[in-house]
Structure 1
Protein backbone atom coordinates (compact mmCIF):
# COMPACT_ATOMS: atom_id res chain seq x y z
CA UNK A 1 0.00 0.00 0.00
CA UNK A 2 1.06 3.58 -0.69
CA UNK A 3 1.68 5.42 2.60
CA UNK A 4 2.79 8.71 4.08
CA UNK A 5 2.99 10.19 7.59
CA UNK A 6 1.31 13.52 8.26
CA UNK A 7 -0.31 16.01 10.58
CA UNK A 8 -3.89 17.00 9.78
CA UNK A 9 -5.06 20.57 10.44
CA UNK A 10 -8.33 20.99 12.35
CA UNK A 11 -11.54 22.07 10.62
CA UNK A 12 -11.21 25.68 11.81
CA UNK A 13 -7.78 26.04 10.15
CA UNK A 14 -9.06 24.41 6.97
CA UNK A 15 -12.09 26.71 6.83
CA UNK A 16 -9.88 29.76 7.34
CA UNK A 17 -7.59 28.69 4.49
CA UNK A 18 -10.56 27.89 2.24
CA UNK A 19 -11.86 31.44 2.79
CA UNK A 20 -8.42 32.95 2.15
CA UNK A 21 -7.94 31.06 -1.13
CA UNK A 22 -11.49 31.34 -2.47
CA UNK A 23 -10.77 34.30 -4.72
CA UNK A 24 -7.62 32.88 -6.30
CA UNK A 25 -9.30 29.51 -6.80
CA UNK A 26 -12.01 31.21 -8.85
CA UNK A 27 -9.45 33.25 -10.83
CA UNK A 28 -7.17 30.26 -11.56
CA UNK A 29 -9.33 27.25 -12.48
CA UNK A 30 -6.47 25.97 -14.64
CA UNK A 31 -4.68 24.84 -11.48
CA UNK A 32 -5.46 21.44 -9.95
CA UNK A 33 -6.50 22.60 -6.48
CA UNK A 34 -6.08 20.06 -3.71
CA UNK A 35 -9.49 19.37 -2.08
CA UNK A 36 -9.55 20.93 1.41
CA UNK A 37 -10.60 17.63 2.96
CA UNK A 38 -7.26 16.22 1.74
CA UNK A 39 -5.09 19.00 3.23
CA UNK A 40 -2.28 17.80 5.46
CA UNK A 41 1.35 18.46 6.40
CA UNK A 42 3.43 15.59 5.08
CA UNK A 43 6.25 14.59 7.43
CA UNK A 44 7.51 11.65 5.38
CA UNK A 45 6.40 10.16 2.08
CA UNK A 46 6.95 6.40 2.15
CA UNK A 47 5.67 5.21 -1.23
CA UNK A 48 4.69 1.56 -1.62
CA UNK A 49 5.04 -0.29 1.69
CA UNK A 50 4.63 -4.02 2.20
CA UNK A 51 2.72 -5.55 5.11
CA UNK A 52 5.87 -6.68 6.93
CA UNK A 53 7.48 -3.22 6.73
CA UNK A 54 4.22 -1.56 7.82
CA UNK A 55 3.98 -3.86 10.85
CA UNK A 56 7.55 -2.88 11.77
CA UNK A 57 6.90 0.82 11.17
CA UNK A 58 3.70 1.20 13.23
CA UNK A 59 5.19 0.73 16.72
CA UNK A 60 8.19 2.86 15.76
CA UNK A 61 5.90 5.75 14.83
CA UNK A 62 4.00 5.25 18.09
CA UNK A 63 7.24 5.61 20.04
CA UNK A 64 8.22 8.68 18.03
CA UNK A 65 4.89 10.32 18.94
CA UNK A 66 5.64 9.89 22.66
CA UNK A 67 8.86 11.88 22.25
CA UNK A 68 7.31 15.03 20.78
CA UNK A 69 4.86 17.50 22.32
CA UNK A 70 1.81 18.97 20.59
CA UNK A 71 2.74 21.83 18.28
CA UNK A 72 1.18 25.25 17.78
CA UNK A 73 1.16 26.01 14.06
CA UNK A 74 -0.48 28.43 11.65
CA UNK A 75 -0.68 28.99 7.91
CA UNK A 76 0.50 32.19 6.26
CA UNK A 77 1.08 33.63 2.79
CA UNK A 78 2.13 31.32 -0.04
CA UNK A 79 5.08 30.09 -2.03
CA UNK A 80 5.88 27.85 -4.97
CA UNK A 81 8.15 25.02 -5.95
CA UNK A 82 9.21 26.09 -9.42
CA UNK A 83 6.31 26.54 -11.81
CA UNK A 84 4.23 23.49 -10.85
CA UNK A 85 3.40 23.48 -7.10
CA UNK A 86 1.67 26.18 -5.03
CA UNK A 87 1.77 25.95 -1.25
CA UNK A 88 1.07 27.87 1.94
CA UNK A 89 3.74 28.47 4.54
CA UNK A 90 3.68 26.95 8.03
CA UNK A 91 4.58 29.17 10.99
CA UNK A 92 4.78 28.67 14.74
CA UNK A 93 6.62 25.70 16.23
CA UNK A 94 8.58 25.11 13.04
CA UNK A 95 11.80 23.86 14.66
CA UNK A 96 9.92 21.28 16.77
CA UNK A 97 8.00 20.35 13.60
CA UNK A 98 11.31 19.71 11.82
CA UNK A 99 12.46 17.57 14.74
CA UNK A 100 9.22 15.58 14.56
CA UNK A 101 9.69 15.05 10.82
CA UNK A 102 13.28 13.89 11.41
CA UNK A 103 12.07 11.45 14.06
CA UNK A 104 9.39 10.07 11.73
CA UNK A 105 11.92 9.69 8.93
CA UNK A 106 14.34 7.90 11.27
CA UNK A 107 11.55 5.50 12.29
CA UNK A 108 10.88 4.77 8.61
CA UNK A 109 14.57 4.10 7.92
CA UNK A 110 14.73 1.70 10.87
CA UNK A 111 11.79 -0.13 9.29
CA UNK A 112 13.95 -0.42 6.13
CA UNK A 113 11.95 2.08 4.11
CA UNK A 114 13.54 4.56 1.72
CA UNK A 115 12.97 8.18 2.73
CA UNK A 116 13.95 11.38 0.93
CA UNK A 117 17.19 12.89 2.18
CA UNK A 118 16.57 16.51 1.18
CA UNK A 119 15.90 19.00 4.01
CA UNK A 120 12.34 19.08 5.34
CA UNK A 121 10.43 22.21 4.23
CA UNK A 122 7.19 22.67 6.21
CA UNK A 123 4.31 23.53 3.86
CA UNK A 124 0.80 22.55 2.83
CA UNK A 125 0.28 21.96 -0.88
CA UNK A 126 -2.63 24.00 -2.26
CA UNK A 127 -2.44 23.29 -5.99
CA UNK A 128 -0.45 21.68 -8.76
CA UNK A 129 -0.28 22.12 -12.49
CA UNK A 130 0.63 19.62 -15.20
CA UNK A 131 2.28 22.22 -17.40
CA UNK A 132 4.71 24.96 -16.48
CA UNK A 133 2.66 27.91 -15.17
CA UNK A 134 3.63 31.31 -13.82
CA UNK A 135 2.48 30.94 -10.20
CA UNK A 136 3.86 34.31 -9.09
CA UNK A 137 0.49 36.15 -9.39
CA UNK A 138 -1.16 33.55 -7.16
CA UNK A 139 1.65 33.75 -4.61
CA UNK A 140 1.36 37.55 -4.59
CA UNK A 141 -2.43 37.38 -4.16
CA UNK A 142 -2.01 35.30 -1.00
CA UNK A 143 0.88 37.35 0.39
CA UNK A 144 -1.24 39.09 3.04
CA UNK A 145 -2.83 35.93 4.43
CA UNK A 146 -1.98 35.18 8.06
CA UNK A 147 -3.99 32.48 9.77
CA UNK A 148 -4.70 31.86 13.43
CA UNK A 149 -2.75 29.36 15.48
CA UNK A 150 -3.95 25.78 15.86
CA UNK A 151 -2.72 22.75 17.74
CA UNK A 152 -1.26 19.73 15.99
CA UNK A 153 -1.67 17.00 18.60
CA UNK A 154 -1.79 13.74 16.63
CA UNK A 155 0.47 11.94 14.17
CA UNK A 156 -1.21 9.97 11.36
CA UNK A 157 -0.12 7.14 9.08
CA UNK A 158 -2.15 7.69 5.91
CA UNK A 159 -2.89 5.42 2.97
CA UNK A 160 -3.13 7.07 -0.45
CA UNK A 161 -5.55 5.49 -2.93
CA UNK A 162 -4.41 6.81 -6.31
CA UNK A 163 -7.23 7.76 -8.69
CA UNK A 164 -9.94 7.17 -6.09
CA UNK A 165 -10.43 10.76 -4.97
CA UNK A 166 -12.30 13.78 -6.31
CA UNK A 167 -11.58 14.49 -9.97
CA UNK A 168 -9.51 11.33 -10.30
CA UNK A 169 -6.95 12.45 -7.73
CA UNK A 170 -5.84 10.50 -4.70
CA UNK A 171 -8.08 9.68 -1.75
CA UNK A 172 -6.37 9.73 1.64
CA UNK A 173 -7.34 7.29 4.38
CA UNK A 174 -5.82 7.60 7.88
CA UNK A 175 -5.11 4.04 9.03
CA UNK A 176 -3.25 4.69 12.31
CA UNK A 177 -2.95 7.62 14.69
CA UNK A 178 -0.94 8.49 17.81
CA UNK A 179 -1.21 11.49 20.15
CA UNK A 180 1.89 13.63 20.52
CA UNK A 181 2.59 13.22 24.24
CA UNK A 182 6.21 14.31 24.69
CA UNK A 183 7.34 17.15 26.94
CA UNK A 184 8.48 20.47 25.45
CA UNK A 185 12.24 20.89 25.31
CA UNK A 186 13.56 22.65 28.39
CA UNK A 187 10.78 21.39 30.69
CA UNK A 188 11.93 19.84 34.00
CA UNK A 189 11.19 16.36 32.67
CA UNK A 190 13.34 16.80 29.54
CA UNK A 191 16.13 18.35 31.58
CA UNK A 192 16.07 15.30 33.84
CA UNK A 193 16.49 12.94 30.92
CA UNK A 194 12.96 12.51 29.55
CA UNK A 195 13.31 10.50 26.34
CA UNK A 196 13.23 12.55 23.16
Structure 2
Protein backbone atom coordinates (compact mmCIF):
# COMPACT_ATOMS: atom_id res chain seq x y z
CA UNK A 1 0.00 0.00 0.00
CA UNK A 2 1.38 3.38 -1.03
CA UNK A 3 0.35 5.75 1.79
CA UNK A 4 0.60 9.39 2.78
CA UNK A 5 -0.88 11.70 5.39
CA UNK A 6 -2.36 15.03 4.40
CA UNK A 7 -4.54 18.03 5.07
CA UNK A 8 -7.29 18.58 2.48
CA UNK A 9 -8.38 22.18 1.84
CA UNK A 10 -12.16 22.70 1.74
CA UNK A 11 -14.06 22.82 -1.53
CA UNK A 12 -14.42 26.60 -1.36
CA UNK A 13 -10.65 27.12 -1.21
CA UNK A 14 -10.06 24.71 -4.08
CA UNK A 15 -12.77 26.34 -6.21
CA UNK A 16 -11.16 29.75 -5.63
CA UNK A 17 -7.74 28.41 -6.67
CA UNK A 18 -9.20 26.59 -9.69
CA UNK A 19 -10.67 29.86 -10.95
CA UNK A 20 -7.23 31.48 -10.79
CA UNK A 21 -5.53 28.52 -12.47
CA UNK A 22 -8.07 28.75 -15.31
CA UNK A 23 -6.56 32.11 -16.22
CA UNK A 24 -2.96 30.87 -16.40
CA UNK A 25 -1.06 30.01 -19.55
CA UNK A 26 -0.86 26.37 -18.49
CA UNK A 27 -4.67 26.19 -18.61
CA UNK A 28 -4.64 27.66 -22.12
CA UNK A 29 -1.97 25.13 -23.12
CA UNK A 30 -4.09 22.32 -21.72
CA UNK A 31 -7.15 23.54 -23.63
CA UNK A 32 -5.05 23.57 -26.80
CA UNK A 33 -4.16 19.91 -26.30
CA UNK A 34 -0.80 20.13 -24.51
CA UNK A 35 -0.48 17.55 -21.75
CA UNK A 36 0.53 19.82 -18.88
CA UNK A 37 -0.87 17.28 -16.39
CA UNK A 38 -3.16 19.63 -14.50
CA UNK A 39 -3.84 18.31 -11.02
CA UNK A 40 -7.34 17.04 -10.34
CA UNK A 41 -8.89 19.62 -7.95
CA UNK A 42 -10.88 16.88 -6.19
CA UNK A 43 -7.61 15.34 -5.00
CA UNK A 44 -5.84 18.57 -4.00
CA UNK A 45 -4.02 18.15 -0.67
CA UNK A 46 -1.08 19.27 1.45
CA UNK A 47 1.12 16.26 2.21
CA UNK A 48 2.40 16.14 5.81
CA UNK A 49 4.30 12.85 5.57
CA UNK A 50 4.82 10.47 2.65
CA UNK A 51 5.09 6.88 3.83
CA UNK A 52 5.53 5.20 0.47
CA UNK A 53 4.97 1.44 0.27
CA UNK A 54 3.66 0.04 3.55
CA UNK A 55 2.92 -3.60 4.31
CA UNK A 56 -0.88 -3.88 4.76
CA UNK A 57 -0.16 -5.78 7.99
CA UNK A 58 1.19 -2.53 9.44
CA UNK A 59 -1.88 -0.46 8.61
CA UNK A 60 -3.16 -0.74 12.18
CA UNK A 61 0.19 0.61 13.46
CA UNK A 62 -0.11 3.57 11.11
CA UNK A 63 -3.68 4.27 12.22
CA UNK A 64 -2.71 4.10 15.90
CA UNK A 65 0.25 6.45 15.39
CA UNK A 66 -1.87 9.02 13.55
CA UNK A 67 -4.61 8.72 16.17
CA UNK A 68 -2.07 9.59 18.85
CA UNK A 69 -0.82 12.54 16.77
CA UNK A 70 -4.38 13.84 16.38
CA UNK A 71 -5.00 13.38 20.12
CA UNK A 72 -1.95 15.54 20.81
CA UNK A 73 -3.15 18.24 18.44
CA UNK A 74 -6.61 18.27 20.06
CA UNK A 75 -5.07 18.42 23.53
CA UNK A 76 -3.31 21.65 22.57
CA UNK A 77 -6.65 23.10 21.48
CA UNK A 78 -8.35 21.90 24.68
CA UNK A 79 -5.64 23.57 26.77
CA UNK A 80 -6.50 26.89 25.18
CA UNK A 81 -3.23 27.10 23.28
CA UNK A 82 -4.90 28.00 20.00
CA UNK A 83 -7.14 26.22 17.53
CA UNK A 84 -6.08 24.25 14.46
CA UNK A 85 -3.91 26.23 12.03
CA UNK A 86 -5.80 28.68 9.82
CA UNK A 87 -4.28 28.58 6.34
CA UNK A 88 -4.61 30.24 2.96
CA UNK A 89 -3.38 29.13 -0.44
CA UNK A 90 -1.33 31.87 -2.03
CA UNK A 91 1.74 32.60 -4.13
CA UNK A 92 3.42 29.83 -6.03
CA UNK A 93 6.63 28.20 -7.13
CA UNK A 94 8.15 25.35 -9.08
CA UNK A 95 10.31 22.31 -8.57
CA UNK A 96 12.83 21.53 -11.28
CA UNK A 97 13.29 22.65 -14.85
CA UNK A 98 12.81 20.71 -18.05
CA UNK A 99 11.16 17.30 -17.96
CA UNK A 100 10.74 17.36 -14.18
CA UNK A 101 9.06 20.77 -13.87
CA UNK A 102 6.26 20.86 -11.29
CA UNK A 103 4.18 23.98 -10.55
CA UNK A 104 2.61 24.46 -7.13
CA UNK A 105 0.76 26.99 -5.03
CA UNK A 106 2.24 28.05 -1.71
CA UNK A 107 0.67 28.12 1.76
CA UNK A 108 0.11 31.27 3.82
CA UNK A 109 -1.36 31.94 7.25
CA UNK A 110 -0.38 29.88 10.28
CA UNK A 111 2.37 27.97 8.50
CA UNK A 112 4.25 27.49 11.78
CA UNK A 113 1.19 25.70 13.17
CA UNK A 114 1.09 23.47 10.07
CA UNK A 115 4.80 22.70 10.43
CA UNK A 116 4.25 21.83 14.10
CA UNK A 117 1.44 19.46 13.09
CA UNK A 118 3.68 17.79 10.50
CA UNK A 119 6.38 17.40 13.16
CA UNK A 120 3.89 15.74 15.54
CA UNK A 121 2.73 13.36 12.80
CA UNK A 122 6.28 12.42 11.84
CA UNK A 123 7.30 11.94 15.46
CA UNK A 124 4.35 9.60 16.03
CA UNK A 125 5.27 7.57 12.94
CA UNK A 126 8.91 7.39 14.07
CA UNK A 127 7.86 6.21 17.54
CA UNK A 128 5.78 3.46 15.92
CA UNK A 129 8.77 2.61 13.70
CA UNK A 130 6.78 3.28 10.58
CA UNK A 131 9.17 4.44 7.81
CA UNK A 132 8.43 7.69 5.97
CA UNK A 133 10.22 10.13 3.69
CA UNK A 134 12.11 12.37 6.13
CA UNK A 135 12.94 15.13 3.66
CA UNK A 136 12.32 18.60 5.19
CA UNK A 137 8.64 19.51 5.20
CA UNK A 138 7.81 22.05 2.48
CA UNK A 139 4.05 22.75 2.48
CA UNK A 140 2.69 23.15 -1.05
CA UNK A 141 -0.18 22.08 -3.26
CA UNK A 142 0.70 20.78 -6.72
CA UNK A 143 -1.28 22.34 -9.56
CA UNK A 144 0.43 20.94 -12.68
CA UNK A 145 3.35 18.87 -13.94
CA UNK A 146 4.09 20.47 -17.33
CA UNK A 147 7.61 19.10 -17.64
CA UNK A 148 9.26 20.48 -20.77
CA UNK A 149 5.96 20.85 -22.63
CA UNK A 150 5.75 24.58 -21.83
CA UNK A 151 8.37 27.22 -22.52
CA UNK A 152 10.33 28.79 -19.68
CA UNK A 153 8.75 32.14 -20.53
CA UNK A 154 5.23 30.73 -20.14
CA UNK A 155 6.10 29.06 -16.85
CA UNK A 156 7.70 32.22 -15.49
CA UNK A 157 4.63 34.20 -16.57
CA UNK A 158 2.38 31.82 -14.64
CA UNK A 159 4.59 32.02 -11.56
CA UNK A 160 4.45 35.82 -11.73
CA UNK A 161 0.65 35.64 -11.96
CA UNK A 162 0.53 33.39 -8.89
CA UNK A 163 2.66 35.82 -6.89
CA UNK A 164 -0.37 38.04 -6.30
CA UNK A 165 -2.78 35.19 -5.61
CA UNK A 166 -4.26 34.82 -2.12
CA UNK A 167 -7.14 32.47 -1.43
CA UNK A 168 -9.71 32.56 1.38
CA UNK A 169 -8.72 31.45 4.90
CA UNK A 170 -9.70 28.02 6.20
CA UNK A 171 -8.88 25.96 9.31
CA UNK A 172 -7.04 22.65 9.05
CA UNK A 173 -9.53 20.62 11.07
CA UNK A 174 -8.87 17.07 9.83
CA UNK A 175 -5.85 14.79 9.49
CA UNK A 176 -6.26 12.29 6.65
CA UNK A 177 -4.56 8.99 5.87
CA UNK A 178 -4.77 8.28 2.14
CA UNK A 179 -3.64 5.65 -0.32
CA UNK A 180 -2.14 6.50 -3.70
CA UNK A 181 -3.05 3.98 -6.35
CA UNK A 182 -1.05 3.63 -9.59
CA UNK A 183 -2.53 4.71 -12.86
CA UNK A 184 -2.73 7.68 -15.17
CA UNK A 185 -3.83 9.85 -13.57
CA UNK A 186 -2.99 8.64 -10.07
CA UNK A 187 -5.98 7.84 -7.87
CA UNK A 188 -6.25 8.66 -4.19
CA UNK A 189 -8.41 6.84 -1.69
CA UNK A 190 -9.11 8.18 1.81
CA UNK A 191 -8.58 5.39 4.33
CA UNK A 192 -9.22 7.23 7.61
CA UNK A 193 -9.48 10.71 9.11
CA UNK A 194 -9.13 12.25 12.56
CA UNK A 195 -10.53 15.61 13.73
CA UNK A 196 -8.01 18.20 14.88
CA UNK A 197 -10.30 21.00 16.01
CA UNK A 198 -11.64 19.69 19.30
CA UNK A 199 -11.07 16.82 21.76
CA UNK A 200 -13.01 13.63 21.02
CA UNK A 201 -13.20 10.24 22.65
CA UNK A 202 -11.37 7.33 21.12
CA UNK A 203 -8.41 7.11 18.81
CA UNK A 204 -9.12 4.89 15.85
CA UNK A 205 -10.21 7.52 13.35
CA UNK A 206 -13.07 6.79 11.03
CA UNK A 207 -12.93 5.13 7.67
CA UNK A 208 -13.91 7.12 4.62
CA UNK A 209 -14.31 6.54 0.93
CA-CA distance at 1:49 after TM superposition = 0.8
Residue 71 (structure 1) aligns with: 85
Pair 1:159-2:179 in alignment: yes
User: Counterparts in 2 of 1:32-181, with a 5 A limit?
Assistant: 32-68=37-73, 69-83=83-97, 84-131=101-148, 134=152, 135-163=155-183, 168-181=184-197
Give the superposition deviation at 1:113: 2.8
8 Å contact kept, 1:155–1:179: yes
Paired residues of 2:102 and 2:147 also in contact (CA < 8 A):
no
Q: How far, CA to CA, are the matches of 1:41 and 1:2 in structure 2?
A: 16
Query: SS in structure 2 opposite 1:53?
Result: helix
**Deviation string for 1:71-92 (max 9, x for gaps)?**
2100112111122111101011
How far 1:154 sits from its partner (Å)? 0.3
Q: Could you tell me whether the CA contact under 8 Å between 1:158 and 1:176 is conserved in 2?
A: yes
**Aligned-pair CA distance for 1:8:** 0.5
SS of 1:99's partner is helix
- TM-score scaled to structure 2, two decimals? 0.80
Q: Structure 1: any 5+ residue segments left out of the alignment?
A: 184-196
Cα distance in 1 between the residues matched to 2:188 and 2:131: 21
Residue 95 of structure 1 deviates from its aligned partner by 0.5
Distance 1:77 1:90 in 2: 7
Misfit runs of 4+, over 4 Å: none
Give the Å deviation of 1:67: 1.7
Post-superposition offset of 1:182: 6.3
Give how far 1:47 is off: 0.7
CA offsets per residue over residues 21-59 of structure 1, 9 Å max, x none?
Answer: 101143232321101001000001111111232111101
Instruction: Please tell me the root mean square deviation across aligned C-alpha atoms, in Å.
Output: 1.8
Taking the aligned partners of 1:100 and 1:114, their CA distance within structure 2 comes to 18
What is the alpha-carbon distance in structure 2 between the residues aligned to residue 108 and residue 98 of structure 1?
Answer: 15
Name stretches of at least 5 consecutive residues in structure 2 with no aligned partner: 74-82, 200-209
CA distance in 2 between partners of 1:103 and 1:118 (Å): 15
Once the 2 structures are TM-superposed, how far is the Cα of residue 127 of structure 1 from its aligned partner?
A: 0.8
Equivalent pairs counted in the alignment come to 179
The answer (yes or no) to whether the contact 2:104–2:140 under 8 Å persists in 1 is yes
